[in-house]
Structure 1
Amino acid sequence: MTAKLTYAVTAAVLVVYFVLVGSRGVMLIQHGTLLTVTFGVAVLVLPAIGVWFLWKNTRFVQQANRLATELDAEGGLPVDQLRRTPSGRIDRDSADEVFARRKAETEDAPDDWRSWFRLAVAYHDARDTPRARKAMQHAIALHDGKPVRT
């Protein structure tokens, strides 16, 4: 629940920021000189990119949560049995062991979105966020029956 609240607050702050920056861009364009119009258009590009990025990330999180809910209903969510350091961080060796099992599972069933979901969780636990995100995108594409990029 805390993660959802944090995400919502961060998204709201970003939207306010995009509105403020966008209004400054509009004011620059309204000034009417070549220089201010050029800067105004450039300033408007930044919030547009930000809105797109926020939208893509929000959709990704919603899709991943949808898969997690479905996998949980099936009883297939990975159980957190990882060893932790005294500070609470996941022990690297423990994460590597789970990752090796998940990788083998995915190699045995490359068209199963469930194995890709569990692999994404293992990547996340191993602190490999780029690969975790790609594995989750792969799981989402398989689940939705979309073409999978390799």
Structure 2
Amino acid sequence: MSARVGVVVMTTLLAVYVLLIGQRAWLLVTSGDPVGIAMGVALILLGLVGVWAIVREVVFGVAAARLGRRLEAEDALPREQIEVRTSGRPRREDADALFPTYRADVEQHPDDWRAWYRLGLVYDGAGDRRRARQAVRRAIRCAR
């Protein structure tokens, strides 16, 4: 639930930012000064990139959560527990021991979203967020 609150807060802050920057950008674009026009266009583009990034992340989060609920309903989530250090970070050697099983499942079923999602969960549990996101994105593509 706290992740949803964070998303709502960040999206609201971005909307306020885009509106305020959009107002300033419009003033710069209509100033008639070539430098002001260039800066106004750059601000508009910056706002659009921000909106695109937030929309992309929200769509990813909604799709990933939907697949997670489906996998949970099927009682197919990974059951292994990874030991964590006192700092809260996972023990890399414990996580590495799980990879062969889930990697083999992905290799045997490359079009199965469940295998990719489980692999993403194992990556996430090991603290490898980049690979976890890649695997979950692949799961989302396969589920379509």
Q: Shorter chain as normaliser: what TM range?
A: over 0.9
1:12 equivalent in structure 2: 12
1:68 equivalent in structure 2: 68
CA shift, 1:99, in A, is 2.1
1:45 equivalent in structure 2: 45
Distance 1:127 1:136 in 2: 14
TM-score relative to the length of structure 2:
0.92
18-27 vs 40-49, which moves further: 18-27
Q: Secondary structure at the match of 1:87?
A: coil
CA contact (8 A) 1:106 1:116 kept: yes
2:34 equivalent in structure 1: 34
- For residues 112-127 of structure 1, what are the structure 2 equivalents within 5 Å? 112-127=112-127
Structure 1: gaps of 5 or more residues? 145-150
2:82 equivalent in structure 1: 82
CA contact (8 A) 1:99 1:126 kept: no
* Aligned-CA RMSD value: 1.3
Aligned residue-pair number:
144
For 1:58, the aligned partner's letter is: V
Identical pairs, percent: 38
CA shift, 1:75, in A, is 0.6
2:109 equivalent in structure 1: 109
CA contact (8 A) 1:28 1:37 kept: yes
CA displacement 1:56-83 (0-9 Å, x = unmatched): 1110111101100111111112235111
CA contact (8 A) 1:106 1:115 kept: yes
TM-score relative to the length of structure 1:
0.89
For 1:43, the aligned partner's letter is: L
Which of 1 and 2 has higher RCO (CA within 8 Å, sep 6+)?
2
